[in-house]
Amino acid sequence: MTLTPPPLRDDCFALPAGTHWTPVDEALALLRDRLGPVTGVETVPLGEALDRVLAEDVLALRSNPPVANSAVDGYGLCHADVGEGPQKIPLVQGRAAAGAPYGGVLASGYGVRVLTGAALPEGVDTVILQEDVTTNGAEIAFHGPLKKGANTRRAGEDVTKGDRLFAAGHVLGPAELALLAATGRGEVKLRNRLRVAVLSTGDELAEPGTEARADQVYDANRPMLVAMLRRFGFCPVDLGRAPDDRAALRDLLDTAAGRADVILTSGGASAGDEDHMSALLQEAGAMSLWRIAVKPGRPLALGMWRGVPVFGLPGNPVAAMVCTLIFARPAMAQLAGQGWQEPARLMVPAGFAKSKKAGRREYLRARLRDGRAEVFASEGSGRISGLSWAEGLVELPDEAMEVEVDTPVTFIPYAGFGL
């Protein structure tokens, strides 16, 4: 048999002909359609609810503010008692302070000392700022007219009892906790944290902090993936490293499926002799998607293992991170009960030039400087340093694109992915 060499290609990532490369949007649509919430529900004190997912809609237990109160330190009046021009109004004894109400009804024609946050005494509908009056302690003098309701906060002007504050799936940040607390909620019904198994594969991998042979590489993906999962609010289950051995990997996947709701592996997802992840998923007949038209990221193996979704990420750390952000994160959000999460995209002028070929979507490590997106000098997906150099990704469309300096491009800051 004679061997004929394949045609030369100038791009080692060019998509081989004769294979169907699934477009990114098609892969995302499949994940979105097939995956739903898998996490259970528990009731949790508010103080432990940060970054957790609401399991049900939350209604306001009471209004905010609960009663009308003063927005400033000043004097409470009845608007009908105040005319135009110079005014002199006698003060009643006593005052209204936050947490210490006046108690009585303000007599017509009088004013009362009020402090910020104090419930407005009955008879008071308007407050004049203390800086706008002169007083001898018995009366106040100021200039009218006043606007009715000035310097007061209406009961329920922020939130009314029974209002829906947040929908199920909402992730609770500090601001959400403030509103829940303000409306009196001490505990909330939350989804359990999504448990995500993380497993690195490859005979070449060594543990950072240990001696490594010259031909070994330290496992960079596991710390990265575990950290990303924490940022996403999930619960990482670190399963360590698997050798390039099919039986050992099979056992570890079984363990992972028993301990987690979703599995992230890295390495061995390609079609080489030692690519056991893709082989196992194929063998189990559980490979749903493999060849996705994305750079970096080819190949990404998506499948199920004992009913648990598996993301067989590429071994290259850059590709592993990009695939996690683009594919695994929205899918995991869906599994976690948050619903589908689109990253927050910005259109910004390019600070670089690039001639992009048609056929697959590309993500470049990028950051904003002087209002433009600049990209990392190398697109090599082994260049781990580019990930921390960058502050986000530039997303170039599936189609061909000529980017010149100042061409608008899509920039997704890491924060837009929840990192």
Map residue 92 onto helix, strand or coil: strand
User: Per the structure block, which two tokens stand in for 317?
Assistant: 């750390």
Taking CB under 6 A as the criterion, the residue among 152, 200, 334, 338 binding ligand AMP is: 200
> What is Dmax (Cα atoms) for the chain?
112
Contact stretch for ligand AMP (CB under 6 A) within 45-53, 113-121, 125-133, 197-205: 197-205
Residues 44-103 that bind ligand AMP (CB under 6 A): none
Residue nearest to ligand AMP (CB): 315
The site partner of 220 among Mg ion, ligand AMP, none (C-beta below 5 to 8 Å per kind) is ligand AMP
Taking CB under 6 A as the criterion, the residue among 204, 238, 245, 391 binding ligand AMP is: 204
Residue nearer to Mg ion on the CB measure, 275 or 362 = 275
Contact stretch for Mg ion (CB under 5 A) within 7-15, 38-46, 202-210, 344-352: 202-210
Contact stretch for ligand AMP (CB under 6 A) within 1-9, 39-47, 216-224, 345-353: 216-224
Taking CB under 6 A as the criterion, the residue among 151, 316, 324, 334 binding ligand AMP is: 316
Q: Does 324 bind ligand AMP (CB under 6 A)?
A: no
- One-letter amino acid at 116 equals T
Q: In sequence order, what are the beta bridge partners of 91?
A: 111
Residues 225-284 that bind Mg ion (CB under 5 A): 267-268
Taking CB under 6 A as the criterion, the residue among 192, 266, 324, 334 binding ligand AMP is: 266
Q: Please list, residue by residue across 176-200, b when 16 or more beta carbons sit within 10 angstroms of its beta carbon and e when fewer do.
A: bbebbebbebeebebbbbbbbbbbb
Nearest CA among 94, 121, 95 for reference residue 108: 121
For residue 130, the number of C-alpha atoms closer than 13 Å in the C-beta half-sphere is 12
φ, ψ of residue 131 to 5 degrees: the values are -65, -20
Residue nearer to ligand AMP on the CB measure, 75 or 376 = 376
User: Per the structure block, which two tokens stand in for 24?
Assistant: 């990114």
Q: Does 202 bind Mg ion (CB under 5 A)?
A: yes
Q: Does 267 bind ligand AMP (CB under 6 A)?
A: yes
Residue nearer to ligand AMP on the CB measure, 221 or 324 = 221
**Cβ(293)–Cβ(15) under 8 Å?**
yes
Nearest CA among 152, 162, 153 for reference residue 183: 162
Q: How far is the CB of 225 from Mg ion (least distance, A)?
A: 15
Q: For every residue of 120-179, which 3-state class applies, written as one string?
A: CCECCCEEEEHHHCEECCCEEEEEECCCCCCCEECCCCCECCCCEEECCCCECCHHHHHH
Q: Does 111 bind ligand AMP (CB under 6 A)?
A: no
Q: Does 317 bind Mg ion (CB under 5 A)?
A: no
The site partner of 278 among Mg ion, ligand AMP, none (C-beta below 5 to 8 Å per kind) is none
Q: Does 315 bind ligand AMP (CB under 6 A)?
A: yes
Q: How far apart are CA 49 and CA 39, in angstroms?
A: 15
Residues that bind ligand AMP (CB under 6 A): 200, 202, 204-205, 217, 219-221, 266-270, 314-317
Residues that bind Mg ion (CB under 5 A): 202, 267-268, 315
